[in-house]
Structure 1
Amino acid sequence: MKKRICQIAALGSALILAFSAPVQAAAVTANGTPAAVATNNIQSWPAGPQTTSEAAVLIDADTGAVLYDKGMNECRYPASTTKLMTLLVAIENSSPKDIVTFTETGIRDVTWDSSNINAQLGEQMTMKDCWFAAYIKSANEVCAQIAEYVGGTEANFVDMMNQKAKELGCTHTHFVNASGLPDENHYTSALDLAKIMKAGLKNARFRKVIESVGYTIPATNLSEARPMHTHMPLMAKESDLYYEGCIGGKTGFANEAQHTLVVAAERNGRTYIAVTMRTVDLGINCTDSTALFDYAFNNFDTIDVNGTKMSVPKGVTVNDLTTESTDKNGRTMNRYYYNGQYVGYVMEADPTPAPTEAPVQEEVTEETPVGEQTENAVSEIQNETKGFSMTSKILLGVMAGMGVLLVILLILLHRKNY
């Protein structure tokens, strides 16, 4: 039933998009053109590290504030980092216990030059197994099968991905498949990938998947068990590039995209997301990401602003921030800035008072045992019944007396007339 509802919803999204303006191929930034670090131009903002990636961004995972911007809005090819959106949409629209049967849609992507788990036609596995295969093994055929299962068709699922991107405020993103296979109309930006990761981290199931360094798909109707282990260096403790506090990330590679990485790290309750796009080697992405995380943890503090935690340069206080207030659905949103750079927001409390409910009378209190409460209730009912019976008898007696007097009076009147 849930699958059917999702398919209907996807069809509705497809119809809406069908009547919208056609998507044109974006002006993807020319290869080999690294961007400048824009945040280095902010007054009193900590100077960012030198990174080799052509585009990069670092954001606070809680507020979405940008701490480091190197061409964060340039359109680039995401390759398999696309799978973060595939995971998010699938997790939000399916159950881990759903049984997925592989069709021609999935197995067509089982090729020597495509990441896969060698799924077979007619093979069945749970949706949970598919999530981990898509993430840890970056299995393209699994992503295609997830798309068909959740969306009814791949095209419908891709529409769901694009709709979700729009909801998350991704303004430089357009997907045409669920795996990230190359296409000139399949693009995104470093900031948009960070927004997708930020949304994913708020979903408990998504977070559970990306935090896993290993997973074994149990034996299926057509295959033996498949053990899997992460190939993301920042997560693997045996790697020289392992980063303490890394909670998950997704790699991507294609000839045009080159190496791309989306990764998150957490220390002392502070979580940051780093995206590095287009390098010639994954090790460079990891080195750049490490530099960005160290930059965040060493140069920024977390301050409390009316109950909201915000990352600001060390030494900055609430008094150093400026505020911009806007109305959002009848409530006031206060956005905070440091020297023009956004650092977080606070929503003021809803001015509409909550309805006051009448106090609920407890039938059983701690002072009176349940048995005594029951006996008391019965006694009260009996007393009320007795009182009602006595009153009834008195009333009946009075009425009877009045009736007798009335009869006597009528007899006397009758005799007088004669």
Structure 2
Amino acid sequence: MRIRRILFFIMAIALLILSPTTVRAEEAEIQEKTEEELAADEEKERADSYAAEADTNKLSGWPQGPKVYADSAVVMDMESGAVLFEKNGDKQHFPASITKLLTTLIALENAELTDTMKFTEDSISFLQYDDAQIGMQAGEELNLDDALHAVLLASANEVSHAVAENVGVQGLGGNYDTFIQKMNERAAELGCTNSHWMNANGLHDDQHYTTAHDMALIASAVYQQEEFRKIMGTLEYKIGPTNRTKEDRVFQQNHKMLWPENYYYYKYCTGGKTGYTDQAKTTLVTMADNGKMHLAAVVLYDYGVDAYTDTKAMFDYVFDNFEKVPVKDKETSRDIGHFNNPESYVVLPKGEDFSQLKKNITLTEDGIRNGKITYTCKGQNVGSASVVLTEDGYNKLSGKASVAEKENTESKQKNISEDNSSELKDNRKPKLFAATGTAVIFLILLGTVLLYRGKKKGQYRK
């Protein structure tokens, strides 16, 4: 027994001695890699991403698009909604500062440019030393116009927060959280299905994510706002003295494709938004107009300036290989009364036959004949348009029988009823004649019998 106790004591001491060594060994294993090792890992990741094929390149008969370094990428026609290039379009990623496009959309839809944005401590206190900002102070005030220039050009995180706070109160009758809720609701209205928004500036949050396809929808929506396009055309902007400072604040556009003297300048570029966090890597949204098509390109989880070369390659590919095809004179469906926009179009690979497209018509408002027709080519969305349905088309989609069908059915039912009534009357006549004949025969027989019996009795009396 004593020997067992001694052995147990020795083993316990040994464990105590060895434990720190084990912990130190584990710590050594999980030590951060050297900068060279990290760079090598990223380069391998980048090469693997470049080698990954775009989804649209897998479509039979679809023009072959470029390879891109971004893990996710989409090019969308902003008016028709046609998706012309796609690589992992529905894969979720962190958006970083391209979030501010949705922030801008909500602000422009729910506030006036002259509205005052007052900065609270909450809109300042979260900032870290390397966060993009323009040095606003608690209690300082800007109008919304100045604020949105700071949001979109300088990517100012504290200004984005202040915009959400103030519009949440003034425009939405709530608070900052109300604004964030509105971001999620509006994104859903636009057709976003794989996004979730937790803040107005895009600083990292595990529950704050989107997809390239969803961001293209948001980019298309905000591009419709005239004030947004005006801000995007500004390369440098100055905010004058405020109630808290006498100094001017001057900042520039961060999107390299908008600067004529920049290596990455793209002559068709009309706007966009940059983004970066360690978790999101480089994100970029870019709008372009070559005079024929208005495109939005999105790249997520990209690698620095590769975002610009990827975007240029995708734009060139679409402009070179696709064309707009008006649908008004080509659509033959009897369910469609007319297109709300006579200039509605699809975007097709050059030379593609419109008659080969598949289409899907849906109702957009219950009880009203408004609908939406979506066209697909080789399984890919190539555009949609708002339409007014014919009465029969509406009834068909809403599950109701058409008026003509109803009248025809009612007429048939009436004819059948009349025929049945006539048949019933005709059937009754032979039955009536048969009954009458039987009664007459019966009376004749009865009379004969009675007459015979009367004669017999007369004979007996005689």
* TM-score interval, smaller chain: 0.7 to 0.9
Shift in CA distance, 312/280, structure 1 to aligned 2, threshold 3 Å: same
Matched with 2:193 is 171
CA contact (8 A) 1:110 1:119 kept: no
1:73 to 90, 95, 103: 90
- In the alignment, the residues of structure 2 paired with residue 169 and residue 332 of structure 1 have an alpha-carbon distance, to the nearest angstrom, of 16
Q: Shift of residue 148 of structure 1?
A: 0.8
Look up the equivalent residue of 2:268 and give its one-letter code.
G
Partner of 2:57: 40
- SS of the residue corresponding to residue 359 of structure 2 reads strand
Question: What's 2:229 paired with?
Answer: 207
2:311 maps to what in 1? 289
Partner Cα distance (2:252, 2:271) in 1: 13
Is 1:303 equivalent to 2:320 in the alignment?
no
**What letter corresponds to residue 202 of structure 1 in structure 2?**
Q
Give the counterpart of 1:267 among 284, 290, 305: 290
Q: 1:328: which partner in 2?
A: 364
Larger gyration radius, structure 1 or structure 2: 2
Q: Could you tell me how far 1:109 is from its partner in structure 2?
A: 3.8
Q: Deviations over 1:205-230 (max 9, x none)?
A: 22222332222112212221212211
From 278, 285, 303, the counterpart of 1:280: 303
Residue from 246, 250, 253 that aligns with 2:269:
246
Kept in 1: contact 2:69–2:303 (CA 8 A): no
Does the aligned pair in 1 maintain the 2:81–2:384 contact within 8 Å?
Answer: no
Aligned partner of 1:413 in structure 2 is none
Query: 1:159-238, aligned counterparts within 5 Å?
Result: 159-223=181-245, 224-238=247-261
2:380 counterpart residue number? 341
Aligned to 2:155: 138
* CA distances 1:84-117 after superposition (whole Å, capped 9, x unpaired): 1111101111111111221102221444211100
2:115 corresponds to which of 95, 98, 103: 98
Kindly tell me: are residues 347 and 99 of structure 1, through their superposed partners in 2, closer, same or farther at Cα, counting changes over 3 Å? Answer: closer
Select which of 270, 278, 281 maps to 1:258. 281
Q: 1:170 to 1:334 in 2, by over 3 A?
A: closer
- Rounded to whole Å, the distance in 1 between the matches of 2:201 and 2:321 is 36
Contact 2:53/2:67 (<8 A) preserved = no
In the superposition, the TM-score normalised over structure 2's length comes to: 0.67
State the one-letter code of the partner of 1:266: D
Supply the distance in 1 between the matched residues of 2:158 and 2:298 (Cα, whole angstroms): 25
Closer, same or farther: CA 115–339 of 1 in aligned 2, 3 Å: same
Contact kept, 8 Å, 2:150 with 2:156, in 1: the verdict is: yes
Structure 1 residue identity aligned to 2:106: V
What residue is the counterpart of 2:100 in the other structure? 83
- Cα distance between partner residues in 2 of 1:109 and 1:322: 50
What's the secondary structure of 2:62's corresponding residue?
A: coil
SS in 2 for 1:275: strand
Q: Deviations over 1:4-49 (max 9, x none)?
A: xxxxxxxxxxxxxxxxxxxxxxxxxxx8774541111212110110
Letter of the 2:375 partner, please give it.
Answer: Y
Are 1:113 and 2:135 counterparts?
Answer: no
Mapped contact 1:105–1:148 kept (Cα < 8 A): no
CA shift for structure 1 position 350: 5.4
SS in 2 for 1:112: coil
Q: 2:55 and 2:140 mapped to 1: Cα distance?
A: 50
Report the CA distance shift for 1:347/1:93 in structure 2 as closer, same or farther (over 3 A).
closer
Secondary structure of 2:198 counterpart? coil
CA RMSD of aligned residues (A): 1.7
**1:300-352 Cα shifts (integer Å, max 9, x gaps):** 11111113122110112423323333333333433222223221223333558
Unpaired runs of 5+ residues, structure 1, are 1-30, 353-418
Mapped to 1, the partners of 2:155 and 2:187 lie a distance apart of: 20
What is the identity, as a one-letter code, of the residue corresponding to 2:309? T
Tell me if structure 1 keeps the 8 A contact 2:288–2:295.
yes
| Alignment check: 8 A CA contact 1:234 1:243 kept | yes
Opposite residue 357 of structure 2, the aligned amino acid is L
Q: 1:385-416: CA deviations, max 9, x gaps?
A: xxxxxxxxxxxxxxxxxxxxxxxxxxxxxxxx
Give the whole-Å Cα distance in 2 for the aligned partners of 1:249 and 1:68: 18
Pair 1:169–1:121, CA change in 2 (3 A): same
Amino acid at match of 1:45: W
Instruction: Measure the CA separation in 2 of the matches of 1:226 and 1:45.
Output: 49
Question: Residue type matched to 2:133 in 1?
Answer: N
Q: In 2 relative to 1, CA 279–326 (structure 1 residues): closer, same or farther, beyond 3 Å?
A: closer
Work out which of the residue numbers 79, 85, 91 in structure 2 matches 1:62. Answer: 79
Q: Which runs of 5+ in 2 are unaligned?
A: 1-44, 170-174, 329-342, 392-462
